[in-house]
Structure 1
Amino acid sequence: MQAMILAAGLGTRLRPYSMQRPKPLFPVLNRPLLLRHLDQVRQAGGAPIVVNAHHLGEQIARLVHLEPDVVLQTEQEILGTGGGLRLALEYFGPDPILVVNGDIYHTIDLRWVMAEHRRAGGPVTLVLHDYPRFNQVEVAADLTIRSFGRQVADRGGQRLAFTGIQVVEPEIMRRLPARGFADIIACYEGLIQDQIPVRGLVARGHFWADIGTPADYLGLHGLLLGQQQHGAGQPSLLIEPTAIVATEVRMQDWVCVGAGARIGQGAELTRVVVWEGAIVESGARLDDAIVTT
């Protein structure tokens, strides 16, 4: 199985934090999100794994340069979801390609996704789920996709959300321009117009979140840390052993502190993510905050 992780986005909605590191390198529970994606793709049998990079691409390069199964595709300009895929075609053989957005956190079984794609036999499979905030994909009763976007007529179908996980046959990628920006959804709309089926696969019973905004990023930590078992009224804390926490520090609700971070005396933190190496000054009062280096 071949795979690609899309990691070249600008992360504009996550500014100013995304000016320091690209979205796929944001730590989730003190580990870069991209490393989790690599683990999941490998567990599903993915190799080679292409990772594209543009914004702060040198940081992604440093992370993956010792990964023998990863091919880094550095893009000098933003190519979009379609353009990045088309450029990566040279690294792939004739097998279907698993594609995962680098800014999502999920527990979807990627082996199941690949098996269902092969069973259906179509050129494209988009993994969908019911997520009202993003339900913009119209599907028919047989789960073929009719359209993308909210502004469509009600034809008795169902609206679902794209998870950011898809499987694409290489011949579909060849329909994209060989160079420059391209939108993969526009390509799929062309397939639908040509009556070539674009199939949806509905995932259920999983956990999924994206980190598109600071609130989303903090909310993900709240959900994940909230799953831990604690006594009544006790905060959910994840503090790396190399972090230094001074005396009289008060932490409430949940707090995540990365390696080598320093929390000054008398600081109060509520729903805070402190990145590795970051410093919280003595006496600081932080609520719903991301502390960076």
Structure 2
Amino acid sequence: MTPEAAMLFAAGFGTRMGTLTRDRPKPLIEVAGRPLIDHALDLVRPLALPRVVANLHYKPEMLRAHLEPQGIALSQEAPDILDTGGGLRAALPLLGPGPVFTLNTDAIWSGPNPLEMLRAAWDAEAMDALLICIRAPHVLGHKGGGDFDIDEAGRICRGTTTIYGGVQIMCTDLLDEIEEEVFSLNCVWDRMLERNRLFALEYPGRWCDVGHPDGIALAERLLAETPDV
């Protein structure tokens, strides 16, 4: 089954951004004159999906005013923020059945549309999730180590050679197995790893993490350059 919905994660506090998120949520911080979340929506729109959802928590009224006119459905998390796994599960009534794209909203991509790459490679018979990962030479602004290793068949395990880019296709049925209300998608990936059904694609372009203030200038330089694919 091909995904027909996308979930944009936009609920976080953006604490790594320091004072930049004092008066706005991180997805509304501008890169090259446009909010981060609009750069993310640029990746989603070419897929012409019938359902696109964003979750809200920190300063939700600002994101609501920005996203509702664009036709984005909203899943507000209150009184507590639910983390990525809990947030995705809470949004399922809006997303509908079947696998979904999930997309972090604090990255800039230079190269092919990662969502189109995922859709072209998705195999529902073999996969519970398909992630985009990037090798270090193609990464800007990331502070931390790698996340996964990828074998020749595209299956992944916890490792250090590639960094998760924050986009994936994921089946949502395993979300119901998590007892906690607040939980990370890592809890779901661990179950997929046990089933040997967690896969990744290696991104051929470049990717910039805009999770901290230094990432803004890096991302703007990346956008100003010719994509190196």
In which range does the TM-score fall when normalised by the shorter chain?
0.7 to 0.9
**2:149 alignment counterpart:** 138
**2:131 alignment counterpart:** 126
Larger RCO of the pair (alpha carbons < 8 Å, separation 6+):
2
CA distance in 2, matches of 1:173, 1:45: 26
**1:199 alignment counterpart:** 199
Output one character per residue of 1:184-211: Cα deviation in whole Å (capped at 9) or x when no partner.
Answer: 1122112223x3410111111x231111
Moved more, 42-51 or 110-119: 110-119
Unpaired runs of 5+ in structure 2? none
**2:220 alignment counterpart:** 221
**2:61 alignment counterpart:** 58
Misfit runs of 4+, over 6 Å: none
TM-superposed CA distance for 1:120, in Å, is 6.6
**TM-score scaled by structure 2?**
0.85
Identity %: 26
1:111 pairs with one of 100, 109, 116: 116
Unpaired runs of 5+ in structure 1? 151-158, 229-293
Moved more, 126-135 or 18-27: 126-135
1:66 partner SS: helix
TM-superposed CA distance for 1:47, in Å, is 2.5
Structure holding more helix per residue: 2
Letter in 2 for 1:78: I
**2:164 alignment counterpart:** 162
1:81 partner SS: helix
Q: How does 1:272-287 map to 2 (within 5 A)?
A: none
**2:28 alignment counterpart:** 25
**TM-score scaled by structure 1?**
0.68
**2:85 alignment counterpart:** 82
Output one character per residue of 1:119-161: Cα deviation in whole Å (capped at 9) or x when no partner.
Answer: 774111111111265422123332211225x5xxxxxxxx211
Letter in 1 for 2:217: L
Q: Give the CA RMSD over aligned residues.
A: 2.0
Output one character per residue of 1:205-238: Cα deviation in whole Å (capped at 9) or x when no partner.
Answer: x23111111111122223334x38xxxxxxxxxx
Structure holding more strand per residue: 1
Contact 1:52 1:72 in 2 (8 A): yes
**2:13 alignment counterpart:** 10
Higher CA-based Rg: 1
